[in-house]
Structure 1
Amino acid sequence: MAAWPSGEPVTAALATLAVDSRCALGEGILWCERRRVLYWTDILAAELWRHDPASGHTHTWSLPAPLGCLALAEDGRLLLGLAKALHAGDVEAQLDRRDLLTTKLADVEADEPSTRVNDGRADRHGGFVFGTKSEHADLRPIGRFHQYTAAHGLRELALPRAAIPNSICFDADGTTMYFCDSVVPRILRCRYDAATATVSDIGVFVGLDTPGAEPDGSIIDHEGALWNAQWGAGRVVRYLPDGRLDRIVRTPASQPSCCVLAGDTLYLTSARVGLDDAALAEQPLAGGVFAHDAGRALTRATDRVRLP
């Protein structure tokens, strides 16, 4: 048991290896409660991963471009955020294939060659919100946030430009959106209107307390608390709705990237990119998917996107 600076107790635990995937940049993990399987991406390898925890079977598909994020669709397909376009794919019909066949839904920032699709999340109203990452070496903040819906296509959200947009998630009724720019150690939130793709009242939700930690992927649980994977700090942190730190789940990899709740289990992806030989010798499981018993009361179903 640890303590937060206020003196309040903080529960700490250690996640264990679930899938030894050794992804260069594992990200965007999702749980499909219908099929009871996990999906995630290795962005740098341009691969989509699928894992069935019950059978232990894992399958990967190759894609024509880096896959930054993904979402479950209402009709059973996946929405796939490739580098410069959103696609849809019926992955379950292609379990015998290595190359995934997809259908393009929309081009993304075709006028800006120095960005690619990064983090994204279903918005609880059938839409999908995602950000684009700066590909400049100096990470100048040129990335934007967008909403995609079947009715309106792409609409840009009036949020500050970002270098690495991340931590996108929504409260239970989908009217509060959480997000960040990973180069700044804080998570923001704002009011979000899905119907009009408008945002307002932008403010700081929480600042990270560990030097070198970068906020990465986040989810909201049944109690309204936010779980955030903290790149560089080797941990996932649960923040209560008022911003107080409640739990810390440490990982055997320094670069956890995204998390999801599946039943009573918290799953999280991690990355090997940027780790030298010495670092990999110390954390040989980096790039794997890890698991932690989080408690069934915290689980909420993964939201789905409505596709044309």
Structure 2
Amino acid sequence: MSTVFDARICELGEGPFWHPGRCQLFWFDILGKRMLSRRDGADLEWKFNEYVSAAGWIDNDTLLIASQSGLYQFEIASGLRVLLHSFNAEKCATRTNDGRADPQGGFWISTMGTSAQEGVGAIYRFHRGKLTKLYSGLTIPNSICFSPDGHTAYYTDSPTGVIMRQTLDAEGWPVGVASVFVDISGEGMLPDGSVVDANGGLWNARWGAGLVARYFPNGDFDRTVKVPGLLSSCPAFGGKDFSSMFVTTAREGLDTPSPNDGKVYELILDVCGIPEHRIQVGA
């Protein structure tokens, strides 16, 4: 059963994350160039002059925000931004997309073409001030999340319909070649954003299907939960005891969007998530 957490309409809702210290959900309207939140019953919004898509927490007052031009340290109260690392200037036709902090304090962020041009996307890891490209030649990189023990990363290139599993070393760096975790390429649905629960189950939003699907750590299918918005884009755990799942939706490309499309939904589940990890920005 889902309820509307926030009724403001996002053209492309994405990147939800729950700040564990502030007990506050943040999310993005990528095409609207804004970050949204709610606290103490008040609607909050920050506007930008470029695409913004994902974030993580540095401390109780400061976020790391991924934008079209780079990664920024962002002061929540004042809106002050300080550039931590820029993206390549020649990549002006790209923007950031999906991102999440890993258990070792790094931040994984994907990029893609602003018109979803084939093969121009990549996934990077920002760790202690250094940005390293991990994967290239991707089109719409998504589904970045991590096992609770920090030994496994997941990601997808959405048009392929395949979610990949990558072994990580003790410092959070990929070891060996990624393998297939889930293949839904024959189901006519696209995997979008994902999050992992406390039991290691992966919850994947299905773009165009209005649902989130859960998979056991071995890749076997468990179940689906429905959300009213057709273009379900990304889930995040939060709330009391991390027993709530928040799901962003979109209305990008819909000729006749319904009133449900583009809102953020909250679901109460029988499993809990884990707190988002703190990002280490210093050397």
- Maintained 8 Å contact 1:125/1:174: yes
- 1:194 is displaced (CA, Å) by 6.5
The answer to whether 1:33 aligns with 2:20 is yes
Aligned to 1:67: 52
- Maintained 8 Å contact 2:103/2:172: no
SS of the aligned residue for 1:79 comes to strand
Which structure 2 residue ranges, 5 or more long, are not aligned?
A: none
Q: Following the alignment from structure 1 to structure 2, what is the Cα–Cα distance between the partners of residues 131 and 247?
A: 27
> What is the letter of the counterpart of residue 123 of structure 1?
D
Over the residues paired in the alignment, what is the CA RMSD in angstroms?
A: 1.8
The structure 2 residue matched to 1:250, chosen from 218, 226, 233, is: 226
> What is the letter of the counterpart of residue 111 of structure 2?
T
- 1:145 is displaced (CA, Å) by 1.2
Q: In the TM superposition, what whole-angstrom CA distance separates every residue of 1:242-288 from its partner, at most 9, and x where no partner exists?
A: 112212111111101111111211111000111113xx2xx212110
The ranges of structure 1 where at least 4 consecutive aligned residues each deviate by more than 4 angstroms after the TM superposition are none
Aligned to 1:127: 106
Which structure 1 residue ranges, 5 or more long, are not aligned?
A: 1-13, 95-99
- 1:215 is displaced (CA, Å) by 0.8
The structure 1 residue matched to 2:67, chosen from 76, 82, 104, is: 82
The structure 2 residue matched to 1:287, chosen from 254, 262, 265, is: 262
Q: In the TM superposition, what whole-angstrom CA distance separates every residue of 1:214-256 from its partner, at most 9, and x where no partner exists?
A: 1111111100000111101110011111112212111111101
Q: Following the alignment from structure 2 to structure 1, what is the Cα–Cα distance between the partners of residues 177 and 254?
A: 38
Report the TM-score, using the length of structure 1 for normalisation: 0.85
Count of residues in Structure 1 that have an aligned counterpart in Structure 2: 279
- 1:75 is displaced (CA, Å) by 5.4
Question: Which moved further from structure 2: 65-74 or 266-275?
Answer: 65-74
The answer to whether 1:184 aligns with 2:160 is yes
The answer to whether 1:271 aligns with 2:258 is no
Cα gap change, 1:75 to 1:22, in 2 (>3 Å): closer
- Maintained 8 Å contact 2:244/2:272: no
Give the alignment of 1:1-308 within 5 angstroms.
14-52=1-39, 55-74=40-59, 76-91=61-76, 93-94=77-78, 100-136=79-115, 139-151=117-129, 153-157=130-134, 159-193=135-169, 195=171, 197-208=173-184, 211-262=187-238, 263-277=242-256, 280=257, 283-295=258-270, 297-308=271-282
Q: Following the alignment from structure 2 to structure 1, what is the Cα–Cα distance between the partners of residues 186 and 204?
A: 13
